[in-house]
């Protein structure tokens, strides 16, 4: 079972590593993790430039924000060069798209010498999610909602992804690693994003992967903890004396104290509860 040494990120922003303006802007955003993308967000002719730019951006850092680099997929002509570059980079994590087996994830993690976030984007990936999550250097699973819809032949919506999303969360929880929800494509639909974030948290996801800075505040609020949850957690911990007991009209026990402490651990000192 993997052991994480930091609270899970609530907000993870994908941005093209080939876009220097976006990289510079990210340094001032209230984001938990920046993911420099070498894959889908970068045109084929720009892959080499993006790779160099990602390594340079990771070396400069993003303050107290975590930094990850998303590789091109294992079957891509760019994958080997990505692995070589990222292995020597200063990024905190690497992101492996279209992870489909524990063996693949383990080989990539060994070659990188870095913790890996594995994207589950295909039917085979979903079916093997538990094995992938159990790889020692895999520290999180990210739902690849867009590719899952395509490979599952789901025309639109969230309903058809329910089993896949729940399987990803189950696999992550069984392994003790992060579970990150997929992106929301409609950039102008704030209500839709908020609804999907609430649903993701309801399913058990730790945070949301994002594709635009405007999505950050909504996701951060939805994945909390908010001020009411913080107050409730602190009061519960203070009131608990051990064993089963009554708290604010309900029964609590040690499990609820542990949950309250885990919620407070999500407060990282740089973002106030909203």
Q: Alpha helix (H) ranges present in 16-101?
A: 20-26, 47-60, 79-87
Q: Same structural domain for residues 27 and 150?
A: yes
How far, in Å, CA of 267 to CA of 255, rounded? Answer: 20
> Residue 110: which residues within 8 A CB-CB, separation 6 or more?
137
Task: Judge whether 161 lies within some domain.
Answer: yes
Q: Are residues 46 and 126 in the same domain?
A: yes
Better-scored residue on pLDDT, 245 or 91: 91
- Above 90 in pLDDT, residue 99? yes
Contact between residue 86 and residue 74 where contact means Cβ atoms under 8 Å apart? no
User: Is 137's pLDDT higher than 50?
Assistant: yes
Check whether residue 174 and residue 248 sit in a common domain.
no
pLDDT tens, residue by residue, 29-65 = 999 999 999 998 899 899 999 999 999 999 999 999 9
Residue 216 belongs to some domain of the structure: yes
Whether 248 maps to a domain, the answer reads yes
User: What CATH number has the domain bearing residue 121?
Assistant: 3.20.20.60
> Looking at the chain, how many residues does it have?
274
Number of domains in the chain: 2
C-alpha–C-alpha distance, residues 255 and 110, integer Å: 36
Say whether both 62 and 112 belong to one domain: yes
pLDDT confidence tier of residue 4, bands split at 50, 70 and 90: low
User: pTM of the full predicted structure?
Assistant: 0.86
pLDDT at 28 over 80: yes
Please give the residue range of the domain that contains residue 33: 11-222
Give the mean pLDDT of the chain. 91
> Is 270 part of any domain?
no
Same domain, 119 and 243: no
128, 139, 27, 14: which is closest to 69 by C-alpha?
A: 14
Mark whether 193 and 246 lie in a shared domain.
no
Q: Which residues contact 245 (CB under 8 A, 6 or more apart)?
A: 239, 251, 252, 253
Q: What pLDDT shows up at residue 274?
A: 38
**E strand spans, the chain:** 11-16, 33-37, 66-70, 93-96, 116-120, 138-143, 178-181, 207-210, 245-247, 250-252
pLDDT of residue 269: 42
Flag whether pLDDT at 116 surpasses 90: yes
């Amino acid at each position: 079972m993997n052991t994480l040494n930091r609270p899970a990120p609530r907000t993870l922003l994908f941005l093209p590593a080939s876009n220097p303006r976006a990289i510079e802007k990210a340094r001032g955003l209230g984001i938990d993790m920046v993911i420099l993308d070498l894959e889908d967000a970068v045109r084929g002719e720009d892959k080499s430039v993006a790779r160099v730019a990602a390594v340079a951006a990771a070396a400069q850092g993003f303050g107290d924000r975590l930094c990850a680099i998303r590789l091109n997929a294992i079957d891509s002509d760019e994958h080997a060069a990505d692995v070589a570059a990222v292995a020597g980079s200063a990024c905190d994590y690497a992101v492996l798209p279209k992870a489909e087996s524990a063996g693949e994830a383990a080989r990539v993690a060994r070659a990188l010498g870095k913790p890996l976030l594995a994207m589950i984007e295909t039917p085979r990936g979903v079916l093997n999610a538990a094995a992938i999550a159990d790889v020692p250097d895999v520290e999180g699973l990210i739902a690849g909602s867009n590719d899952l819809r395509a490979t599952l032949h789901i025309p639109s919506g969230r309903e058809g992804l329910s089993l896949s999303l729940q399987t990803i969360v189950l696999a992550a929880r069984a392994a003790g690693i992060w579970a990150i929800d997929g992106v929301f494509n409609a950039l102008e639909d704030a209500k839709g994003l908020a609804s999907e974030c609430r649903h993701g948290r309801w399913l058990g996801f730790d945070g949301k992967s994002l594709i635009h800075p405007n999505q950050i505040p909504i996701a951060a609020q939805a994945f909390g903890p908010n001020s009411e949850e913080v107050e409730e957690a602190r009061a519960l911990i203070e009131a608990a004396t051990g064993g089963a007991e009554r708290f604010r009209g309900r029964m609590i026990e040690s499990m609820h104290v542990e949950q309250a402490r885990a919620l407070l651990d999500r407060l990282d000192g740089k973002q106030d509860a909203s």
